[in-house]
Structure 1
Amino acid sequence: MLTISLEKIDFLPPTRVTDDTSVLTLKNLVFEPLLRWDKGSVSPGLFSHWTHTEDGCNWAFHIREGAVFHDGKRCVAEDIISFLNGILDAVDTFGMKWSYARYLKDARISADSDAILCVSNPKPIADIVDIFSEFYICRLDANGRPVLGTGRYRVSDYEPQKNVLLEKTNGASGPDRILALAEKHADMRYEQLRSGYVDAASNLERVDKALDFSPDYQWGKAVNTLSVMYYLNCSKGIFQSPAARLAVNHAVDSQAIADGIFHGLAVPSSTVVSPFHMGAVQANLSPIPFDRQKARRLLDGLDTSAEIELRTPTFMPERAPEISRFVAESLEAVGLKVSIKTELDRPEYARQIGRKEMGDMAIFDSSPHSTYRILNDKISSATKAVWWQGYHDDETEALIAAANETAENSDRARAYARCLRRLQQNPPWLYLVHPVDVFAARKNQRGLSIDHKGTLNIF
């Protein structure tokens, strides 16, 4: 049996989508995503293959042969339709409507047969593959727990927020049984490994001090797709100016944040997405260089007399207060006046940002691994969605529209690359870092790895 320590143990309701790395680790074992995401591309998951019309408006997704839930029920297209309808009618953890309802508002989702799901839309909907990669199909068991999946492992015992025992299904790879234990504190998870209580521990990048990376253990690291960034208020104040937005990106040494505040477990950002999002490789961008003199030149001629209100929560992203103090000092070093306003209620902070109550700048963690979702939810002035903060650039909008009309993956990646390059030239945010996720395990433990979503993979 393999015993692992995770930050939390939870199986969320079917209507909830999450980027929590502990929850995703369990999901990937017990459930199957409709499609698997890997470095900006998708591959088969519960859907074994799919086709689309040349115009990208009509799609047919085929359920893999032999897909069966852990209670023996065959997985059919109607199960997936029911699952999707639940998500489209639901709200997220902050009580806000999921964006998926907007993406699919004009789409018709139907079952061509038990094994084929069809999606038809008046306009090209190539982003459907990105969306489907976030959905892990599950059903409720007899006790109302959302633990019935079609994945490699079935849940045999489960105590929410404490532990779960998983048993391998016939013919699957991996250890016969996996015991996952919940431990909130990263330092304690590391201690559990050192004491021999567990075989592996995840999210050790969150320990209070710098990790020692002891040679007594095997270590795995991966840069996460999550972006730690600041929304800039493009609707009013100094950040209506593209020059001011570019100036603050030159004013902040993001490498110093990565090295100092994150103890080296982060890499600087270059644009609105990570190096692993679709279009990032083709864009081939380097971070905006730290250059205080250039920042001051860009601010010349702008009215910098008003104090900038910088807003921060106490967590999510991790180390938010420390980052905010560093950023405030960096902006003051180029002649800006900054005050920090801290919100102690993290869900309320998210709701405030969604209501555009963000001051002049607000730290946030941009988590979708879909380039489409980030552009649609946070950048586009055509959609003006919940996380949009007043940014408008005609060139960017035209590039986003062109990408949305592109169905083939290679062409779509190049179209996204053009968007990402423009968003470095005329940034809507202050780009900071992408954290590095870390796990450790016994040296003789095999079959463990970590991906860019922070998922601990077990084979």
Structure 2
Amino acid sequence: MAPNEFHLSLEKVDFRKPTQVTDDTSILTLKNLVFEPLLRWKPGGLVSPALFKSWEHSPDGRLWTFHVRDHARFHDGEECLASHIIDFIDAILGSRDTFGMKWSYQRYLADTKIAARDSRTIEIWNPEPIAAILDIFTEFYVCRLAPNDEPIQGTGPHRVVEFDREAGRAVIERIEVEVEPKHIGLINHPQRIIATAEPSAEKRLSQVLLGEVDASLNLERVGRALDFTPDVQWGKATNTLSIIFYLNCQRGVFVAPEARLAVNHAVDTEALAREVFHGLAVPATTIVSPDHLGSQDAGLSPIPYDPAKARQLLSGFSTTEKTIVVRTPTYMPERAEAITAFVVASLEAVGFVVEVQVEPDRASYARQVGLDKNIGDMALFDSSPHSTFRVLDDKISSMTKAVWWQGYQDEETDTLIKLASNAIEECDRQRAYAQCLKQLQHNPPWLYLVHPTEVFAARTGIQGLNVDCKGVLNIG
């Protein structure tokens, strides 16, 4: 390999349509090299400048003004203007996700007015305070279509020089761009990055061990315990993804808060992390990860494993009431059926009688869970937004009753969500969301399981590699 060339093995190589927001770590790794988000999300849930270099808001939090960074240009040389960004946002608001469902962004911004004050300034007005616009903008990676209609024209520190979706291969090269160093770091970046797709985690591991590639991502998906050999360098980080079971709060036993709390006491999440994830996961404490906004202030520990407490909480329910249907996909999350088997055994140990329904069509499963609310009594799922606001608004609030809401109703929670949504300053938002997270541990809407750990391996001697808590491999 050339000394300034870096060969990266990913599960998939793609950039997706400009309107396709994604949490896929392979795709996000590439997007972070070629594109810029409007704002950059930081662990802890706050944001920093990116394509927007600065912003300010009115005292009431209804008017927000964002400024495009100086010298922002797409890789074809065209200047990135406010009009490009507004068109990009409008396209997302009019599109659907990979499952064919409308993006929640349409609902968040339904009454919002977005306009260019000048060529480099965007104003956003909303009838209610909307500090959550900061969260939303971290998910928008601005790009344009190239002449071949591929979504590869970005403003980031690398440009795409080759891309073959069918072959699963992309070549990107570092460019000299006029940016402020705090926005995009170019130091220690290789000049040329070759990304190739290898769907098999076992083969990606073999590639890096044999020296065929410089680094491989998502090695936590190898179906066995990793030995972390010193022959290569390793990196890992706990992901913001939450693996959970939705509980049917509209009908059946889980309408009762006692039953929902009982299942959280019934499952030994440390054992789940150890036995199913080979130690590459950490127990969850509430609806979001320790890196979400509000989590640090909440300071929560996992609900303790206590099967005796679970049986006590369930003592008032009949066998008929404790006869439940558990639904599961075969993937997304990884190890879905093994997770379900572990949880089912735990539930049966405290008195539940369980029927398992397996759905192999993952896209159909998502529509069944979201649109049809067909979750049986429990349904395995993963919760991926790194915005606490989004998780609450999409999945918990009975005021919005949005696509992933499963009937949970708690007046105290709704009051706290409203207060958090109206908070404007960083410290106020952190405290307000912390109160939501505490209440949702006290009265859980879901069965909280784990946050998986992302793992990469690389050739020894390569410096500047790390994986962040969104699962993105940072190079340089």
Aligned residues: 459
Higher mean C-alpha deviation, range 130-139 or range 329-338: 329-338
Aligned twin of 2:220: 205
The one-letter amino acid paired with 1:442 is R
1:344 aligned residue (344, 355, 360): 360
1:235 aligned residue (234, 250, 264): 250
Aligned twin of 1:164: 170
The one-letter amino acid paired with 2:154 is G
Query: Could you give the per-residue CA deviations for residues 355-379 of structure 1, whole angstroms, max 9, x where no partner exists?
Result: 1011000000000000000000000
1:120 aligned residue (102, 113, 125): 125
Aligned twin of 1:42: 47
Query: Could you give the per-residue CA deviations for residues 322-347 of structure 1, whole angstroms, max 9, x where no partner exists?
Result: 11111111111011111100001100
Which structure 2 residues correspond to residues 25-424 of structure 1 after superposition, within 5 A? 25-39=29-43, 40-161=45-166, 162-170=168-176, 172-173=186-187, 174-306=189-321, 307-354=323-370, 355-424=372-441
Query: Could you give the per-residue CA deviations for residues 36-79 of structure 1, whole angstroms, max 9, x where no partner exists?
Result: 00111100010000000111000000000000000000000000
The one-letter amino acid paired with 2:21 is V
Query: Could you give the per-residue CA deviations for residues 417-436 of structure 1, whole angstroms, max 9, x where no partner exists?
Result: 00000000000000000000
User: What is the distance in 2 between the residues matched to 1:244 and 1:194?
Assistant: 48
Aligned twin of 1:6: 10
The one-letter amino acid paired with 1:3 is H
The one-letter amino acid paired with 2:265 is H
SS in 1 for 2:271: helix
1:23 aligned residue (5, 23, 27): 27
Confirm or deny: 8 A CA contact 1:238 1:303 kept in the other structure.
Answer: no
The one-letter amino acid paired with 2:16 is L
Following TM superposition, the consecutive aligned residue runs of length 4 or more in structure 1 with deviations greater than 2 angstroms are none
SS in 2 for 1:222: strand
User: What is the distance in 1 between the residues matched to 2:345 and 2:467?
Assistant: 35
The one-letter amino acid paired with 1:228 is I
TM-score (norm 1): 0.99
User: What is the distance in 1 between the residues matched to 2:340 and 2:230?
Assistant: 34
User: What is the distance in 1 between the residues matched to 2:427 and 2:315?
Assistant: 42
Cα shift at 1:196:
1.1
Higher mean C-alpha deviation, range 188-197 or range 277-286: 188-197
The one-letter amino acid paired with 1:394 is E
Higher mean C-alpha deviation, range 171-180 or range 369-378: 171-180
SS in 1 for 2:302: coil
The one-letter amino acid paired with 1:105 is A
Cα shift at 1:304:
3.6
Higher mean C-alpha deviation, range 155-164 or range 375-384: 155-164
Confirm or deny: 8 A CA contact 1:316 1:364 kept in the other structure.
Answer: yes
Aligned twin of 2:460: 443
Identity over aligned pairs, percent: 58
**What's the Cα RMSD here?**
0.7
User: What is the distance in 1 between the residues matched to 2:354 and 2:63?
Assistant: 51
Confirm or deny: 8 A CA contact 1:238 1:304 kept in the other structure.
Answer: no
Cα shift at 1:118:
0.7
Query: Could you give the per-residue CA deviations for residues 297-341 of structure 1, whole angstroms, max 9, x where no partner exists?
Result: 111112342420000000000111011111111111011111100
The one-letter amino acid paired with 1:229 is I
User: What is the distance in 2 between the residues matched to 1:141 and 1:319?
Assistant: 37
SS in 2 for 1:219: strand
Cα shift at 1:443:
1.1
Query: Could you give the per-residue CA deviations for residues 412-453 of structure 1, whole angstroms, max 9, x where no partner exists?
Result: 010000000000000000000000000010110111111000
The one-letter amino acid paired with 2:338 is E
| Runs of at least 5 residues in structure 1 that lack an aligned partner in the other structure | none
User: What is the distance in 2 between the residues matched to 1:186 and 1:115?
Assistant: 43
User: What is the distance in 1 between the residues matched to 2:205 and 2:336?
Assistant: 23
| Runs of at least 5 residues in structure 2 that lack an aligned partner in the other structure | 178-185
SS in 1 for 2:466: strand
Higher mean C-alpha deviation, range 85-94 or range 168-177: 168-177
User: What is the distance in 1 between the residues matched to 2:462 and 2:107?
Assistant: 44
User: What is the distance in 2 between the residues matched to 1:304 and 1:160?
Assistant: 53
SS in 1 for 2:163: strand
User: What is the distance in 2 between the residues matched to 1:16 and 1:359?
Assistant: 29
SS in 2 for 1:277: coil
Confirm or deny: 8 A CA contact 1:70 1:150 kept in the other structure.
Answer: yes
Confirm or deny: 8 A CA contact 1:271 1:424 kept in the other structure.
Answer: yes
The one-letter amino acid paired with 2:422 is E
User: What is the distance in 1 between the residues matched to 2:109 and 2:17?
Assistant: 21
User: What is the distance in 1 between the residues matched to 2:339 and 2:406?
Assistant: 21
User: What is the distance in 1 between the residues matched to 2:464 and 2:338?
Assistant: 36
TM-score (norm 2): 0.96
